Amino acid sequence: MKAGRKNLRRACDEGAAVTLAEGESIMQVLTLRGSNVIEVMDGEGVKSLALFPAKFQKSFWIKSGSFVVVDASGREQALESGSKIACVVSQVLFHEQVRALQKSGNWPVIFKSTPNEGSETGTQAQTAQIDEEPDSDEDDDLPPLEANTNRNRPYELYSDSDSGSDS
């Protein structure tokens, strides 16, 4: 491991407590756009594009819904100049760091409701709909299966009908 990545990893392991500098804010990753560009949403609900620096590439992985610390000090200047990328990711937050920030009170209000809570209520509504169906005896309270569109159906060589075998 090169020295830059080693120092990045060491700083991440040692620094469990996150302190935000001036111009930095906590943002949630919405989508990965490719070419080190991600779409993020800040604490006020404003979406923007951020650059995920190359120094993080093989050390940290992010996915939709994870949280990052973004340096947005030059955000207005970048947008006025016509640049689509408004900010740069300065740190990736891990689960322990997110929990510590939530307990400390520095956590933005818009992120307090986790997306898992909404999906749980959605699955409860789906199971309630399934329970109302009269034919749910064989389903064992499972949602219906969707068709697999990744594979083509093979041609049937033999027919199940009995026509033509009585010659």
- Mention every residue, 6+ apart, whose C-beta is less than 8 A from residue 91: 18, 68, 69
Q: What percent of the chain has pLDDT over 90?
A: 19
What is the distance between the alpha carbons of residues 114 and 139, in angstroms, rounded to a whole number? 30
What is the distance between the alpha carbons of residues 106 and 102, in angstroms, rounded to a whole number? 7
* Residue 98 host element (H or E): helix 95-104
Indicate whether 41 belongs to any domain: yes
CATH code for the domain in which residue 87 is found: 2.40.50.140
Q: Please give the tally of structural domains in the chain.
A: 1
Indicate whether 151 belongs to any domain: no
Indicate whether 123 belongs to any domain: no
Indicate whether 94 belongs to any domain: yes
Task: Write out pLDDT tens, residues 90-145.
Answer: 888 888 888 888 888 878 888 876 544 333 333 343 444 444 444 445 656 677 77
User: Are 108 and 65 a contacting pair, CB within 8 Å?
Assistant: no
Structure tokens at 157: 């060589």
Q: Given CA atoms 102, 24, 58, 67 in this order, what sign does their dihedral have?
A: positive
User: Which pTM does this prediction carry?
Assistant: 0.60
Indicate whether 10 belongs to any domain: yes
* Residue 118 host element (H or E): helix 115-132
Out of 5-9, 39-43, 62-66, which region has the weakest mean confidence (pLDDT)?
5-9
Its domain, for residue 47, covers 3-111
Indicate whether 84 belongs to any domain: yes
The candidate with the shortest Cα–Cα distance to 61, out of 89, 85, 29, 92, is: 92
